[in-house]
Amino acid sequence: MGGFLDSLQRGYTIKDVSKRLGLLYFGVVDYRQDDHEVIRGLTVSTTHRDKHYAVGSYDGYDIAMVDRYDQSKDGTKSIRHNWCIIQISLHAPQSIPHVFVLPHDRSGRFAHLFVGLRHLQVIHDLTEQQYSSEFTDRYNLNAPPHQALEVERWISPSVALGIAARFWPHAIEIRDGKLYVYITEHRLDEAVLGGAIASALWLAEIIDQTAA
């Protein structure tokens, strides 16, 4: 019963925020039958289930949201995962390297997704400028090591400082022209979701301004 009530409460939150922003809320979607774009990123899999799907435009950006559920195995133990995902389509070119900004205290929520992704490594020591402890004490900046200097152009130490202040404890991914924010709080409320969307729009604008 608790899982059902939690999902219901999360759905109310996503629906209310979507209404406030003028997004269309669809609830549960079947991507095989419905004409909706799958929200991808690191959490997409053949076993995930999506609920509370919403999509639309706000502040000049195409936005989509979904509440995603999946399971992974740790030996014989099954682990349940839940992310509320915000996706923003960037105006910048899709040549931005794959980046994953991973919060230290939530790393277990993503560890199974990094298995086999050797191209994503912590690059703090490979950049020309030093990232502040305010950022590195909270996050690891993961990207292909050979693209560390290119990543530094997009996520500079000053931008990283803003990320630490605005996003923590949410995770961030930039991939294939999309910006993803992953919210892992058990109880999702309008303040958390609305703040994450505002922060995502802030970062999207910075990335697009860098590309200009």
Residue 118 confidence (pLDDT): 80
What are phi and psi for residue 72, nearest 5 degrees? -135, 165
When pLDDT is cut at 50, 70 and 90, the band that residue 113 belongs to is confident
Residue 72 confidence (pLDDT): 80
Residue 211 confidence (pLDDT): 87
Among the residue ranges 24-33, 99-108, 121-130, 165-174, the one predicted with the least confidence is 24-33
Q: What is the pLDDT of residues 187-212, one digit of tens each?
A: 899 999 999 999 999 999 999 999 87
Residue 32 confidence (pLDDT): 60
The overall average pLDDT reported for the chain is 90
Sheet strand arrangement including 121-122: 24-27, 49-58, 61-74, 77-89, 178-183, 171-175, 99-103, 139-143, 121-122
Q: What is the pLDDT of residues 145-179, one digit of tens each?
A: 999 999 999 999 999 999 999 999 999 999 999 99
Residue 129 confidence (pLDDT): 96
Residue 29 confidence (pLDDT): 72
Closest CA to 14 of 60, 57, 61, 67: 67
Question: Would you state the structure tokens that stand for residue 130, as one six-digit string?
Answer: 């030093």
Residue 73 confidence (pLDDT): 77
Residue 44 confidence (pLDDT): 85
pTM: 0.92
The rounded distance, in Å, linking the Cα atoms of 15 and 28 is 12
